[in-house]
Amino acid sequence: MGTELVREFTQRGYHVTGFDRFAVDVTDGARVEQTLADIDPAIVLNAAAYNQVDVAENEPAAAFAGNALAVRNLALACRQVDARFVHFSTDYVFDGTAGRPYTEEDQTHPQGAYAVSKLAGELYAQAYLDSPLIVRTSGVFGPAGCRTNRGNFVEVMLRLAKSGQPIRVVEDHVASPTYAPALAARTADLVEHNHSGVFHIGGGVPISWFEYAKLIFAGAGLNPELRPTNEREYRTVARRPKFSALSNGKLELAGIAPMPSMADAVKSYLAAREEILNGTR
Ligand SMILES: NC(=O)c1ccc[n+]([C@@H]2O[C@H](COP(=O)([O-])OP(=O)(O)OC[C@H]3O[C@@H](n4cnc5c(N)ncnc54)[C@H](OP(=O)(O)O)[C@@H]3O)[C@@H](O)[C@H]2O)c1
């Protein structure tokens, strides 16, 4: 997501400085404070996160440092330089029992260490700043994922297809996978329209991970042996919300363009991925 935010804001004419963890570790409060004092930015976007949902169950303090205390560092530093703060959060703040896409008014009920730490991050942003913008999103996939170790769901599916083994994907978990470039563009629109508070930006349509995998293979022209499974057969360390799709209703009411369809998003991803692998992007 960070890659796409840099790209989107740069295209819109902003002078953007991007940081990775080696330039600024956001858990280091003094470093964050010094960096913001040096740059004196108008806007700070925080796409850094501790995202290892299962590992977090064994190291909740690390998750809390990266997702909560780091947000406190950023919020305090933003207050000092009077910068607007844009922070990203997750559909995992919900328990997944609503059975319909979650709105910003829905009660949060995180299910594990990662989810608790992300909700705490939201609270820290709201505790220290009057009007932060908090964007909750879901299942992010951006072209930069084809170059990172962790990748994203599309990359995992393409890798598994290459292995020739049968692929099993859960059909009883539903989310709203979100195309990072479209998310970055809607975030920039929210910023430019001076919105604050909590906004949901999900892929727009609830879809099971199994159906999403089918879309990916159709888009990539692949035909691996894909079988549905479920959470009973495929246990993970961390509990995850079963239905965590996000409603974009508030976003669209604010006059921001709807998100692209899943089929179009996957098509765009695969095209951008080709460009990256060919060295033309
Ligand atoms: N990915 C999803 O499915 C998803 C779903 C819902 C919400 N979100 C939220 O969306 C936001 C962006 O996620 P993403 O998918 O772009 O995640 P990502 O690909 O894992 O990127 C996170 C980045 O943060 C960096 N980072 C981690 N700890 C850091 C630290 N202490 N200081 C500085 N940088 C640090 C990571 O560096 P390293 O690579 O060196 O670790 C990585 O570059 C996060 O707030 C995440 O919680 C993501």
Q: Which residues of 239-273 are buried (b: 16+ CB within 10 A; e: fewer)?
A: bbbbbbbbbbebbeeeebeebbebeebbbbbbebb
Rounded to 5°, the CA angle 271-144-279 comes to 60
pLDDT tens digit string along 208-264? 999 999 999 999 999 999 999 999 888 899 999 999 999 999 999 999 999 999 999
- Determine the distance separating the centroid of ligand 1 and the alpha carbon of 225, expressed in angstroms: 31
Contact partners, residue 15, CB within 8 Å, separation at least 6: none
Asked whether 254 and 195 are in contact (CB, 8 A), the reply is yes
Rounded to 5°, the CA angle 252-174-135 comes to 40
pLDDT tens digit string along 128-166? 999 999 999 999 999 999 988 889 999 999 999 999 999
The Cα–Cα gap between 67 and 237 comes to 19
Predicted TM-score (pTM) above 0.85: yes
End-to-end CA distance of the chain: 16
CB distance 27 to ligand 1 below 6 Å: yes
Q: How confident is the model at residue 271 (pLDDT cuts 50, 70, 90)?
A: very high
Q: How confident is the model at residue 149, as a pLDDT?
A: 83
CB distance 138 to ligand 1 below 6 Å: yes
Contact partners, residue 51, CB within 8 Å, separation at least 6: 114, 150
Answer whether residue 279 shows pLDDT above 90: no
Mutational pocket test of ligand 1: of 53, 59, 91, 140, the residue with most ligand atoms within 8 Å of the beta carbon: 140
Helix (H, G, I), strand (E, B) or coil at 104: coil
CB distance 147 to ligand 1 below 6 Å: no
Query: Looking at residues 58-69, what average pLDDT do you find?
Result: 98
Report which of 219, 183, 181 is spatially closest to residue 201, judged by C-alpha positions.
183
Domains and CATH numbers, the chain: 2-278 (3.40.50.720)
